Amino acid sequence: MSDFARATAVNRRDETAYDVDLDLGWSIGGRPNGGYLLAAIARAAVDAAGREHPLAVSGHFLRPPAGGPAEVRTEVVKAGRTVTTVRATLWQDERACLDVLVTAGTLPAAKPDHTGTPMPVLPPPQECMSRADTPFRVELLDHVDVRLDPATVPTPENVGAPVVRGWMALRDGSPADELALLLAVDVAPPTVFRLGMVGWAPTVELSALVRAIPAPGWLAFEAEASVVGGGWFDENATVWDSTGRVVAQARQLAMVGRQGG
Amino acid sequence: MSDFARATAVNRRDETAYDVDLDLGWSIGGRPNGGYLLAAIARAAVDAAGREHPLAVSGHFLRPPAGGPAEVRTEVVKAGRTVTTVRATLWQDERACLDVLVTAGTLPAAKPDHTGTPMPVLPPPQECMSRADTPFRVELLDHVDVRLDPATVPTPENVGAPVVRGWMALRDGSPADELALLLAVDVAPPTVFRLGMVGWAPTVELSALVRAIPAPGWLAFEAEASVVGGGWFDENATVWDSTGRVVAQARQLAMVGRQGG
């Protein structure tokens, strides 16, 4: 079993509830990464749906859970012919932490009929920064190998447009699967760091589309903010697999960095 | 009361349920427009939250409702200091039609600190197509004035990249408010029509961020598909107000047109 599969494993307890053991190794500054949480919850939702893959995952973040035991409570909202929609909520200590709607089905295997959004030109992973220069402790990077395009590394010396590009792979060498794509859409450091707005930037909502099972190899990602103001920013993320295919798309709403948060 | 406010009005029946009368005037081919439904549901959710505005709205479409009486059942998932998250589900004839998570709060009034995604160059509304050349009856256009950039009008003679741009205003002259932005993100004809893939293209999931209360005047929109394949397509939509400010962003997952659907 891969490191990622173990960290996001869920155990069905009864008809609707799943136990999960949140692993603080997949955290940033002591808070489990949002993409990691979505992956674990989506794993439970897809199982509850009796489907193969998540297609659309919409998470509204209520409060950050601690590490350790937690529960995913699921409700099949509609089981259709092609897709099944499930509400899945992460609970800990009788408090809802993350509420998610998941529509699950089967990802297309064939090459798309049309693709826009070509993969950006990136330096190869070995020429990228292997650990971001950040004031935070990033436990997640013990498990996920993130390489940032030097041109977009957010440092005080590299202020610029709020775009971050790079590569991602799982450190244990296991291939990223469709659930790991939920990690990939949230793995970039907050793009507003490029504007000098550093600090904990909590995700309030993240909606992701999973488009294909990724081919083995590095995933490329690009995250970009369009509107930053009034303490809020959006971040649009696209993930490509090693064949250059778009495999995931997401947009999140987050709060601008809070010092010490 | 504006035409839009009337068509999306909700009446609180008890602690958690709202009555709504779905107006088939806001339909496409007899099915209520997805953005129209999201606007009515978000109106109930924002009221249930005791907040001013929707910030993030994630809708998973289960089955198209008919016109007439329906109910929005709400559940406040978390009332926080800055935002409140509500689950709101549209029910009709004891069947869930559309399940939505809404995070509500207060939209920033000040100009953003940073904005990317500049408004595309569009011909003025009077030089755009005022009713799309489509094989469908579009009841919605009796209430919403949609003007399509001739370069992107989807016709058999204008096959091209799956992008549709244009303008939107409410026909009765009332200004579009923050709820009408949910209409704006879903008002373009399906972008895959530009690829010659016509037919009913049902939305499966649509997640929208509302970023600001729009200034009075025409709204500009751009919708674009990135990946079309296996019967699925995404559509990324951005809406600008008359000052050129980004006021809404959305992405939807939809099924490629089904003839006669």
Q: How many Å apart are CA A24 and CA B2, to the nearest integer?
A: 51
Closest chain A residue by Cα to residue B250: A251
Q: Which of B46, B39, B61 is nearest to B12 (CA)?
A: B46
Mean model confidence pLDDT for chain B: 95
**B158-168 confidence digits (pLDDT tens):** 899 999 999 99
A63 neighbourhood in chain B, CB within 8 Å: 78
pTM value?
0.97
- The more confidently predicted of residues A252 and A28 is A252
Q: Does A77 touch chain B (CB under 8 A)?
A: yes
Share of chain A above pLDDT 70, in %: 97
Which pairing describes strands B27-28 and B31-32: parallel, antiparallel, or unpaired? antiparallel
Q: What is the mean pLDDT of residues B172-199?
A: 95
User: Over the stretch A183-216, which tens digit does the pLDDT of each residue have?
Assistant: 999 999 999 999 999 888 999 999 999 999 999 9
pLDDT at position A48 over 70: yes
pLDDT of residue A67: 97
User: Is the model's pLDDT at A229 over the cut of 70?
Assistant: yes
Task: Measure the CA–CA gap between B95 and B65, rounded to whole angstroms.
Answer: 9
- Rounded to an integer, the average pLDDT of A17-30 is 95
pLDDT digits (tens, 9 = 90+) for B14-33: 999 999 999 999 999 899 99
Phi, psi of A192 (to 5 degrees): -70, -15
Contact of A234 with chain B, judged by CB distance below 8 Å, is answered with yes
Give the per-residue pLDDT at A175: 98
CA A248 to CA A241: how far, in whole Å?
A: 9
- Inspect the interface and report whether the beta carbons of A114 and B204 lie closer than 8 Å: no
Q: What is the ipTM of this complex?
A: 0.96
Average pLDDT of chain A, as a whole number = 95
User: B144: pLDDT confidence band, cut at 50, 70 and 90?
Assistant: very high
Q: Contact, A222 vs A238, CB < 8 A?
A: yes
| A128-167 residues touching B, CB cutoff 8 A | 161-162
Contact residues, B window 2-61, toward A, CB-based 8 Å cutoff? 55-56, 58, 60
B85 and A103 within 8 Å at the Cβ level: the answer is no
In whole angstroms, how far apart are CA B165 and each of A35, A93, B129, B216? Answer: 32, 48, 11, 19
- Contact at CB, A205 and B56, closer than 8 angstroms: yes
| pLDDT band at B260; cut points 50, 70, 90 | very low
Give the chain B residue nearest A110 (alpha carbons): B230
pLDDT at A131: 72
Whole-angstrom Cα distance, residue A145 to residue A50? 31
How far is B171 from chain A, CA to nearest CA, in Å? 29
Would you state the pLDDT for residue B193? 92
- Contacts with A, B 191-210, CB within 8 Å: 195, 204-205, 207, 209
Q: Are B43 and B10 in contact (CB under 8 A)?
A: yes
Does residue B224 surpass a pLDDT of 80? yes
pLDDT of residue A11: 98
- How far apart are alpha carbons B241 and A171 in whole angstroms? 45
CB contact under 8 A, B226 and A117: yes
The whole-angstrom distance between A240's CA and the closest CA on chain B is 12
Give the residue ranges of DSSP H helices in chain A: 3-7, 34-49, 180-184
Q: How many angstroms separate the CA of residue B142 from the nearest CA in chain A?
A: 32
Residue A260 has pLDDT above 70, yes or no: no
Inter-chain contact A77–B62, Cβ cutoff 8 Å? Answer: yes
Residue of chain B whose Cα is closest to the Cα of A102: B60
Residue A257 pLDDT: 77
pLDDT digits (tens, 9 = 90+) for A87-104: 999 999 999 999 999 999
**Strand (E) or helix (H) holding A214:** none
**Predicted confidence band at A31 (pLDDT cuts at 50, 70, 90)?**
very high
